[in-house]
Amino acid sequence: MNREIYMNIKGLTIKKIHHDLTKKEYSSRELTEAFFNHIKKEDAKIGAFLDLSENMAMRQAEEVDKNISAGKGPGVLGGVPMAIKDNILIEGLRCTAASKILKDYKAAYNATVINKLRLAGAIFLGKTNMDEFAMGSSTENSAFQVTHNPHDLERVPGGSSGGSAAAVASEMAIAALGSDTGGSIRQPAALCGTVGLKPTYGAVSRYGVMAMASSLDQIGPFTKTVEDAALLLKELSGQDPMDSTSASFKFGADLLSPNIEDIKKLKVGIPEEYFVEGLDKNIAAKMNEVVKDFEKLGIKTKKISLPHTKYALSCYYIIMPAEVSANLSRFDGIRYGTREKADNLIDLYKKNRESGFGAESKRRILLGTFVLSSGYYDAYYAKAQKARALIRKDFDEAFKEVDVILTPVTPTPAFKIGEKSDDPLAMYLSDIFTIPVNLAGVPAVSIPVKNNSGLPIGFQLIGKHFREADILGIGQFYEKLYN
Ligand code: GLN
């Protein structure tokens, strides 16, 4: 038995764990214990986890070990220690979405993604911190704690899935799940230096995930390598009778085994609208290096235009709050939420929602209620839907010329804790490059720029609907250039 594992969990990937468990280098139990030991030391300074689920994890690890001893093998994700964003339900565990209103809520059932990961043998280490109900870009909107960026503890990890990104970046989990409504997987992945994938809308079931804006939300993985992201997507995706928006699409063999000859044939577009004033100079320079790396792989790039990009942020901040105001109406102190003492029903709603929601949630509920109210609906909501159609059409047109689009993920690297928390508009701008993707429903991945000193930077690859194989394929060969 190789006891080294206690010393070194760095550099482990899903693929490596599968190999090691199969070869009996260590047991799933030993590996899981090693992770909890590491978390107990490391998380005191990072604050990535809201809750740890040690008992559940040890039981799961024992099951994996039993399967291995019985000769059944570990399973595709067997023994892989994972962290789960706290808006995804795991039966029996607390699920708060980092909101005071759900501080005592225990999940009554598993999200479909959780069932799928369980079947594949994954281990759940715990639930991660986030911006309340996934609204934010820094994880500072959590009602419970601040999460620190592992690369610089004075800086934010990004958000809203900041806990998941920080957990993977500080080796406290091999992979994590997040949700992405306007960038909440890709932006924290970029700021923490991990891979973060937002799948095509409908590729992964949303059943059992607390809804923020249902027409934009998707669940996806944080991983250390692009290859691991592809492995997880394969397991997570598929049609689910419990989610009518989930698609029956099945990914092909090229998702896991991309072929360099096919990858060379892909044409990559670079949209001029993403290289504008406000983009950090170092990020702009790094994007040029990425283009050169693509050329080394034999991939051709081309300048393109996505002319309606400038409307994306305003369009998102109408459609998203409208859906938020509807989705968050269930937290009323009766169906869900804490129950304060009150004299009558209206009072009960008011008291619970007043004390249960944080400032950002309230801001968006009010904004959403306003844009949906009679007299304003056409001026705001209906108009935003038209703008959304134009943004989607931009992508359709661009994808007639190119197969993949390359952009920065964020305008700046990780900012300081507190720097933007009093300025919602400055915070909203952090997602300017990720939001159009959700409006169009296409897949996109954030990949850490290699050969980079200082704070992590990511580049974004956007693909055609259900062509995750293209963006992950390029990503896998890009990573190999540096291995
Ligand atoms: N940061 C964006 C927002 O605040 C995106 C959130 C998300 O993707 N969940 O809305």
Q: Which pLDDT value is given to residue 3?
A: 52
Q: Flag whether 132 is in a domain.
A: yes
Which residue numbers are catalytic? 85, 160, 184
Which atom of ligand 1 is the closest one to the Cα of 364? 10
Which residue has its alpha carbon closest to ligand 1 atom 4? Answer: 136
Residue 370 belongs to some domain of the structure: no
> With the C-alpha atoms ordered 38, 41, 42, 47, is the resulting torsion angle positive or negative?
positive
The string of pLDDT tens digits covering residues 36-49 is 999 999 999 999 99
The alpha carbon of 161 and the centre of ligand 1 are apart by a number of angstroms equal to: 9
Residue 353 lies in a domain: no
Show the CA angle centred on residue 241, arms to residues 236 and 247, nearest 5°.
Answer: 55
Give domain status of residue 54, yes or no: yes
The span from the CA of 160 to the CA of 428, in Å, is 12
pTM over 0.85: yes
pLDDT in tens, 428-472: 888 999 999 999 999 999 999 999 999 999 999 999 999 999 999
Q: What is the pLDDT of residue 313?
A: 96
Q: For residue 214, what are the CA distances in angstroms to 48, 226, 280, 322?
A: 26, 27, 32, 10
Residue at 171 is within a domain? yes
Q: 400 lies in a domain?
A: no
Look at residue 328 and tell me whether its pLDDT is greater than 80.
yes
With a cut of 50, say whether residue 1 has pLDDT above it: no
- Flag whether 199 is in a domain: yes
Would you say residue 471 lies in a domain?
no
Mapped onto helix, strand or coil, the DSSP state of residue 408 is strand
Average pLDDT of the chain is 96
| 246, amino acid identity | S
Q: 217 C-alpha to center of ligand 1: Å?
A: 9
Task: Count how many domains the chain has.
Answer: 1
pLDDT at 165 over 50: yes
Ligand 1 pocket, Cβ-based, cut-off 6 angstroms: 134-137, 160, 179-184, 212, 320, 431
Could you tell me the two tokens for 113?
A: 């993604």
Spacing, Cα 458 to ligand 1 middle (Å): 17
Nearest residue CA, atom 10 of ligand 1?
A: 135
Domain of 100, in residue numbers: 3-250
Query: For residue 320, is pLDDT > 90?
Result: yes
CATH of the domain at 160: 3.90.1300.10
Mean pLDDT of 180-208: 98
Q: Would you state the pLDDT for residue 426?
A: 84
Tokens matching residue 19: 């190999």
